[in-house]
Amino acid sequence: MDSTYPRDCPVCGSNAKTRLYKQAFADVGKVSFLKGYDVVACDGCGFAFADDIPSQAAFDAYYARQSKYETRSSEITALRLDVLKNGLAFLAKGVKDKNSRILEIGCGCGDFLRFLQDDGFTRLSAIEPSQHCVDHLRHTLGISASCGTVSQLNADADFDAIVLLTVLEHVVDLNAAITNVSKMLSRNGLLFIRMPNACRFPDYDDSAFQQFSPEHINYFSIVSAKNLLGKHGYTLLVFEEVALRESDNAVLPMANLLFVKDPGAGGCVSEKDASTRTQLERYITLSRARDSDINGRLSRFVKSQEPIIVWGTGTHTLRLLELGSLRQCNIAMFIDSNPHYEGGLFNNVSIKTPNALLQHSHKVLVSSKVFQKEIAHYIRDELKAPNELILLY
């Protein structure tokens, strides 16, 4: 794991901050790349972010090496289609010409770009940290793509619009990233940003502290996003707060924002973010109650020491192993569908791919709220595994 570093506020530069919560994750081989962080709010402008985290280089290496965004499925589910339609409709508020030069940064395997293609856009490009995804974009979709991250951009270009869908919440060096983006955007070009809306975290039924994941290290509101982009010479044209369904069991509070590059704009923070700290404190209170409930459900397996298989090694599992009851359970094996995690170890218990389940009869703890239904369906209907399932939600 990389060394960690304190952060000054990326929005106003202040080093005066108040800790709201201390997050922690178990050290699981091939999965973990940070042990945790402090969730803080800037005393100056009100922006909230993760403090004492690894360098930008560590995050870039993680996304290049262990990407979980490499799904190549040719099928787009109804839920995913709704998300794509929302993105296209919002982009259309500013981009009318189908010949516009559009770049998406951090696009995974390119669902949104493929959707733009199908709608008639012809001049599409991508930058993505996973070489696997880049190859798919080039060879399957025919889209010009290169390997890299928003923090590694070092080229001048002249795109009419740049798209950052759920990217900036992952970035350590926000100011460097936006400076890089600006070099690639034409004068008066448009910047479409989608990000989790921290002011709405308490309003949705989430698993405990799920928004404080190893990857999400910035907690934006509309105000803080406007402040950050404003000092880089961007004017906010339009925004919307949306609830996007990620699965049958999870709705994500998001914000879509469309900025125009305005060389005449720029300067200091225009408005203090007066809401994010209060809303995150509400979210933390709700999460503590949810956390207590889940640990109570796990207590019978702590007491019985019955061997169980844990399906999933994401944020949900990493927290429960470090701060919850899961560490005290008798775990026979972890299973994860991300092949990059295979062979990883926690307390000498290994991570295996889904087919390994067929060789064991232990009960399976589905360690996910977001994808609990999908995982259960996969175990029952795809793998045809008879194992009894432990569902926490």
Same domain for 331 and 264: no
Q: Report the distance separating Cα 47 and Cα 200, nearest Å.
A: 15
Same domain for 153 and 122: yes
pLDDT grade for 72, boundaries at 50, 70 and 90: very low
- 218's tokens: 């910035």
From 235, 255, 281, the end of a domain falls on 281
285 alpha-carbon distance from chain centroid: 22
- pTM tops 0.85: yes
Q: Which amino acid is at 145?
A: A
In a domain, 288, yes or no: no
From 216, 249, 281, the end of a domain falls on 281
For the segment 347-371, the average pLDDT, to the nearest whole number, is 97
In a domain, 101, yes or no: yes
Same domain for 304 and 263: no
Same domain for 192 and 93: yes
Q: Which amino acid is at 153?
A: L
Q: CATH code at 387?
A: 3.40.50.720
Higher pLDDT, 155 or 42: 42
> Which domain covers residue 154, as residue numbers?
78-281
Q: Report the distance separating Cα 44 and Cα 271, nearest Å.
A: 11
Query: Could you report the per-residue pLDDT of 270-289, keeping only the tens digit for each?
Result: 799 999 999 999 999 999 99
Same domain for 376 and 254: no
Query: Could you report the per-residue pLDDT of 299-313, keeping only the tens digit for each?
Result: 999 999 999 999 999
Same domain for 330 and 209: no
In a domain, 45, yes or no: no
Would you give the end-to-end CA distance of the chain in angstroms? 32
In a domain, 1, yes or no: no
In a domain, 322, yes or no: yes
C-alpha R_g of the chain: 21
Same domain for 309 and 162: no
In a domain, 377, yes or no: yes
In a domain, 62, yes or no: no
From 232, 255, 281, the end of a domain falls on 281
pLDDT of res. 255: 98
Query: Could you report the per-residue pLDDT of 141-198, keeping only the tens digit for each?
Result: 999 999 999 988 877 789 999 999 999 999 999 999 999 999 999 999 999 999 999 9
Same domain for 249 and 315: no
Higher pLDDT, 2 or 136: 136
Phi first, then psi: what are they for 117, rounded to 5°?
-55, -50
75 near 50, Cβ under 8 Å? no
Q: Which residues of 192-222 are buried (b: 16+ CB within 10 A; e: fewer)?
A: bbbbbbbbbbbeeebbbbbbbbbbbbbbbbb
In a domain, 69, yes or no: no
Work out how many domains the chain is built from and give that number.
2
Lowest-pLDDT range of 51-65, 338-352, 378-392: 51-65
Q: CATH code at 253?
A: 3.40.50.150
List helix spans (H) across the chain. 56-65, 78-91, 111-118, 131-139, 174-183, 222-230, 276-304, 315-323, 372-377
Same domain for 113 and 258: yes
Same domain for 303 and 277: no
Same domain for 341 and 217: no
Same domain for 335 and 271: no
